[in-house]
Amino acid sequence: MRTYGESELLEAASAFHGHLGPYLVLGLKAGELANKIMGKDPFKMRAEVFCPPKPPHSCILDGVQFSTGCTMGKGNIAMHPSEGVKVIFAKKGRSLEISPKKVIVEQISSLKRGAIEDMSRKIYGDSVEEIFDYDLKPSETHKTNETVHSAGRGPKVSR
């Protein structure tokens, strides 16, 4: 997979997604954190994304896909409808749960349309400690050979 500089990454992810938005950036940052802590491997990592099933919250999925290489086509990303937003990455018996801090979600919710790109760039520049709560732990429930539901819909895919 190609490695991008910061400005290139935001430009490429925006082109992939269609625009630059804060939930896309949260997905990018969460994926980058998972890659850093667990090691980047788009075939062995799994991502379970919990969020409301519509934009803007569901845009986090595209950021996670773009930064980790976990994709719908490979069946190693799944979306679960939820009121809150969090991502659980799993690889080699470990799981990393990442949730945006409440203050970040509140700031995003209060954005005016003209401020979306500026806020997105600000979030990308912030440290992970400023924007996320996260926890790494051993995992018995997230194994790479388990059955997954593609995006929470459709047929089961065995890995």
Query: What pLDDT is attached to residue 33?
Result: 98
Query: What pLDDT is attached to residue 157?
Result: 36
Chain-centre distance for alpha carbon 71? 11
pLDDT by 10s per residue, the chain, length 159: 677 777 799 999 999 999 999 999 999 999 999 999 999 999 999 999 999 999 999 999 999 999 999 999 999 999 999 999 999 999 999 999 999 999 999 999 999 989 999 999 999 999 999 999 999 998 755 444 333 333 433 333 333
Domain boundaries of the chain, sorted by first residue:
6-144
Strand partners, 99: 133
Query: What pLDDT is attached to residue 155?
Result: 36
Query: What pLDDT is attached to residue 141?
Result: 53
Query: What pLDDT is attached to residue 1?
Result: 64
Is CATH 3.30.1330.130 the right assignment for the domain spanning 6-144?
Answer: yes
CA atoms within a 13 Å half-sphere pointing along the CA-CB vector of 139 = 21
Exposure b/e, 125-135, CB count within 10 A at least 16 = b: eeeeeebbebe
CA atoms 135, 151, 111, 30: torsion sign: positive
Task: Copy the structure tokens of residue 89.
Answer: 């990455």
- Which long-range contacts (C-beta less than 8 Å, at least 24 apart) are formed by 33-36? 33/96, 33/98, 33/128, 33/132, 33/134, 34/68, 34/87, 34/89, 34/96, 34/98, 35/67, 35/68
Quickly count: other Cβ atoms within 10 Å of residue 123's Cβ.
22
Q: What's the pTM value of the predicted model, to 2 decimals?
A: 0.85
Of the candidates 67, 102, 110, the one whose C-alpha atom is nearest the C-alpha of residue 85 is 102
